[in-house]
Structure 1
């Protein structure tokens, strides 16, 4: 039996690391609030201002804004002038926090922290008794996911994602049948339907709330070439119907991802193409040690992706199922040709270009 030497320096460094974790968690919570109340957007347009001026410009209560600013100042997010008692959001920080930043805006992702906190008690119960937490327990999840997909997928759809597939843009212009499984609130599919009026688009999602949102947007856009339907993709029974099938960050969430992939194989025409966007990772945690958002993704997986799947008696793949498992399951579904592509601006996702 070997005796482990206690390293005081390492212990102190780790204690400091844990204090940093607490501070970062607090900043994340307040960043979520700053995003949802549009305080960052307001401050991005203001010169150095007092808490009262900021609150008035944002239409918010000054006392709460002042305390929020306390976190932002001590967290080195907002600069403070103690002489004039004014606050300013540096332009370099605006680039990561304002809605005008588009794809570089990190603030929307902080919403996952308070969202996941609402199911902590249920998750702890699962640690003791197994099972999972159903979709219905996650309030605002689709609203947050809509912003998430808007950051990573929708904003890059035409300039970056579609060009990964040779000839698909031309086919969409000419007119093909397209299916998006796990379409969520339909942001990507509605944009495609708007851009390619000669093609016909169908969106399936398990959530009635998401489908209602997607349908409303399609109606507002006056789109006649798109339809949305509440459907469990594991029950899909279509054959050789679609030229192009997409799943954006959806397969790992499925209760029965193996059945879903098999159904996609059957629904895809022989010369069709399947685009699967999913989390970039390795199946073994050892390959993810340097992943830039590994802790965040494993947490979201444990407290949403995995547990929702398990709640419905599913496989519980989790968000970090990884390339190795993905390639194995695609092969088991019957697919013969798989190419994995990546985008320079997107460190979070892999894009699987799949053919029969």
Structure 2
């Protein structure tokens, strides 16, 4: 006869297999910080110039050989670089994902792990007592990390790949339109669009003054007179004049009152005005995210930043995995018309939502 005690004993092989998996998870977390170091110190760019000894690579990057050699040990055993006859090589395919100005460079993403890890004690306290961590708890580094994450994809994809997904939008911007970016961060999207469409005017809105200072400085450096920035809570977005086009790029899900943000954007648009929202590529139902390779990352950054920032203000706490189904429903509840949803070309972590205020 089998007892409940017998069935509660786990299979030893299953335990060993899971333990190996768990150690792999921990190892990946450590390697992420090593990748961040390689990006910060220029080691990947130096390694991309060709095979080198540890001393040669240290000289290329202007670093201490002993540190470089130990870092290289992690890179080789972690499958990121190779080692043969005393020389270390960053394979071309790996260099493409870790170097260069394009959207394929994933090295800046590594900085999110140590950045979010700084607040683990405070997040654990919120688990016990509720509430959350306000945006200021992640300052000042969060602004720079997010700018680095978004800058390359926006440079490469925004005008040539994302705008054409919305029929007539490129033509509308070329002809001249009033454009708003709600939750603009460092404002790089508005700078790109301001340069590409000089007949239009662009205003970015954000609550973070350090991000806005960066945005204003970049627009001034580019000599753009059709781009400006204002400090405003996204939930209180009320432009002086109606706008023809509005953007919200990875900005809605971590708001205290996302429903109010969407209603405000709807009300600010002229009839027939277009709204383009870029947000995480996830489903609303957890069961539909099982097997999504990006889901563990989305839920993690949500727990450690997006959700807790909203809850800190007594907000909805939607989180980054609020998902396509809920997003479409909330857009409808805000008054928007039909919503078209498409994967963001070149940016698998995102979906692009396109809709309009009915005329």
TM-score with structure 2 setting the length:
0.94
CA contact (8 A) 1:29 1:111 kept: yes
Q: State the distance in 1 between where 2:95 and 2:121 align.
A: 35
1:57 matched to which residue of 2? 60
Q: State the distance in 2 between where 1:238 and 1:213 align.
A: 21
1:340 matched to which residue of 2? 341
Q: State the distance in 2 between where 1:64 and 1:126 align.
A: 37
Q: State the distance in 1 between where 2:122 and 2:9 align.
A: 39
Q: State the distance in 2 between where 1:167 and 1:325 align.
A: 26
Q: State the distance in 2 between where 1:58 and 1:188 align.
A: 32
1:107 matches 2:110: no
- 1:123-182 Cα offsets, whole Å, 9 max, x none, are 111111111111112141111111221244442111110001111111111111000001
1:233 matches 2:237: no
Q: State the distance in 2 between where 1:30 and 1:132 align.
A: 29
1:195 matched to which residue of 2? 196
TM-superposed deviation, 1:18: 0.8
Using a 3 Å threshold, how does the CA distance of structure 1 residues 239 and 287 change in structure 2: closer, same or farther?
Answer: farther
CA contact (8 A) 1:239 1:266 kept: no
Number of residue pairs aligned between Structure 1 and Structure 2 = 352
1:31 matched to which residue of 2? 35
Using a 3 Å threshold, how does the CA distance of structure 1 residues 111 and 323 change in structure 2: closer, same or farther?
Answer: same
1:271 matches 2:275: no
Task: Indicate the SS of the match to 1:122.
Answer: helix
Structure 2: stretches of 5+ with no match in the other structure:
none
- 1:63-89 Cα offsets, whole Å, 9 max, x none, are 2212211211111211112x4x22111
TM-superposed deviation, 1:238: 3.6
Task: Indicate the SS of the match to 1:346.
Answer: coil
Q: State the distance in 2 between where 1:296 and 1:236 align.
A: 30
Q: State the distance in 2 between where 1:324 and 1:240 align.
A: 31
- 1:79-130 Cα offsets, whole Å, 9 max, x none, are 112x4x2211111211111124x12112111111111111111111111111
Q: State the distance in 2 between where 1:238 and 1:344 align.
A: 30
Task: Indicate the SS of the match to 1:354.
Answer: strand
2:10 matched to which residue of 1? 6
CA contact (8 A) 1:277 1:351 kept: yes
Structure 1: stretches of 5+ with no match in the other structure:
none
1:66 matched to which residue of 2? 69
Pairwise CA RMSD: 1.5
Using a 3 Å threshold, how does the CA distance of structure 1 residues 51 and 69 change in structure 2: closer, same or farther?
Answer: same
CA contact (8 A) 1:185 1:213 kept: yes
1:217 matched to which residue of 2? 218
323-332 or 301-310, which moves further after superposition? 323-332
1:352 matched to which residue of 2? 353
1:118 matched to which residue of 2? 118
CA contact (8 A) 1:240 1:266 kept: no
CA contact (8 A) 2:162 2:345 kept: no
Q: State the distance in 1 between where 2:115 and 2:12 align.
A: 37
TM-superposed deviation, 1:240: 6.4
Q: State the distance in 2 between where 1:239 and 1:330 align.
A: 23
Q: State the distance in 1 between where 2:316 and 2:240 align.
A: 25
